[in-house]
């Protein structure tokens, strides 16, 4: 379906999605969101910091281009709801920014860069419960790398990437890192 990627082996590992492929994956996800939510009328896109937030903004912009529809988007910090807080020193919080009107009765699409154990999404669901009662919650991720530890699956996936648990998947985005690329490498620091 997609053209052979110009895989570059770099310092941080192998590029599995380049900027063009990231763009195409997001375009497809944007179309799928419109299709699955019957036009995206009651949809709010909530990105999970750090890299879910620019992804949510890009999806909102894409939907705006296709349908002329302004989809509200925001960010949802899950730090305070994580189950691994006690395993590391206390960390700085990300931003939680909800669009005006809150989440009650809306279809929430959570947006994150990588879906791995599913624990971040579990924390996000808890955080969301404290903010109100959405009509439905869906999940969009750029990369699903498998190895779920909880019964969670994504509704929209940019790329399914079979990995081993020793490998590290990193998503770089131009808003945060200066370039768009998805890298896979052996070991190293956690993505």
Partner 1 sequence: MKRHLISAADLSRADALLILDTAEELASLADRPIKKLPTLRGRTVVNLFFEDSTRTRISFEAAAKRLSADVINFSAKGSSVGKGESLKDTALTLEAMGSDAVVIRHSASGAAHRLAGWVQGSVVNAGDGTHEHPTQALLDAFTIRRRLKGNGTRGAGLDGIRVTIVGDVLHSRVARSNVLLLSTLGAEVTLAAPPTLLPLAVENWPCSVSYDLDCELPKSDVVMMLRVQQERMTAAYFPSVREYSRRYGLDAARMGRLPDHAIVMHPGPMNRGVEIAADVADSVRSTIVEQVANGVTTRMAVLYLLLGGTEFPAVAQ
If the CB atoms of residues 14 and 98 are measured against partner 1, the closer one turns out to be 98
Q: Least separation, in Å, of the C-beta of 155 and partner 1?
A: 26
In this structure, are strands 156-160 and 136-144 parallel, antiparallel, or unpaired? parallel
Q: Least separation, in Å, of the C-beta of 89 and partner 1?
A: 4
The residues near 4 (Cβ < 8 Å, ≥ 6 apart) are: none
Q: Least separation, in Å, of the C-beta of 166 and partner 1?
A: 24
Q: Least separation, in Å, of the C-beta of 76 and partner 1?
A: 12
If the CB atoms of residues 51 and 82 are measured against partner 1, the closer one turns out to be 82
Question: In angstroms, rounded to a whole number, what is the distance separating the alpha carbons of residues 118 and 78?
Answer: 13
Of 163, 159, 121, 160, which Cα lies nearest the Cα of 138? Answer: 121
Q: Where are the beta strands (DSSP E) in the chain?
A: 9-10, 13-17, 43-47, 73-75, 107-115, 136-144, 156-160, 167-172, 181-186
If the CB atoms of residues 64 and 132 are measured against partner 1, the closer one turns out to be 132
If the CB atoms of residues 77 and 180 are measured against partner 1, the closer one turns out to be 77
Q: What DSSP letter does each residue of 50-101 carry, written as one string?
A: TTHHHHHHHHHHHHHHHH-----EEE---GGG-S-GGGS--------BPPTT
If the CB atoms of residues 95 and 135 are measured against partner 1, the closer one turns out to be 95
Binding interface with partner 1 (CB under 8 A): 77, 80-81, 85-96, 126, 130-132
Q: Least separation, in Å, of the C-beta of 140 and partner 1?
A: 24
């Amino acid at each position: 379906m997609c053209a052979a990627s110009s895989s570059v082996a770099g310092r941080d590992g192998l590029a599995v999605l380049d900027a063009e492929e990231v763009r195409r994956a997001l375009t497809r996800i944007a179309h799928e969101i419109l299709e699955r939510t019957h036009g995206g009328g009651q949809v709010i896109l909530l990105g999970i910091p750090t890299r879910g937030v620019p992804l949510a903004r890009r999806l909102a912009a894409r939907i705006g281009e296709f349908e002329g529809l302004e989809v509200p988007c925001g960010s949802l910090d899950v730090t305070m709801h994580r189950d691994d807080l006690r395993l590391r020193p206390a960390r700085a919080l990300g931003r939680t920014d909800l669009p005006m009107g809150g989440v009650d009765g809306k279809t929430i699409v959570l947006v994150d860069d990588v879906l791995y154990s599913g624990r971040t999404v579990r924390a996000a669901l808890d955080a969301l419960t404290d903010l109100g009662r959405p009509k439905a919650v869906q999940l969009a991720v750029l990369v699903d790398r498998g190895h779920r530890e909880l019964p969670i699956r994504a509704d929209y996936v940019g790329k399914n990437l079979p990995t081993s648990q020793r490998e590290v998947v990193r998503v770089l985005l131009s808003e945060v890192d200066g370039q768009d690329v998805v890298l896979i490498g052996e070991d190293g620091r956690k993505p």
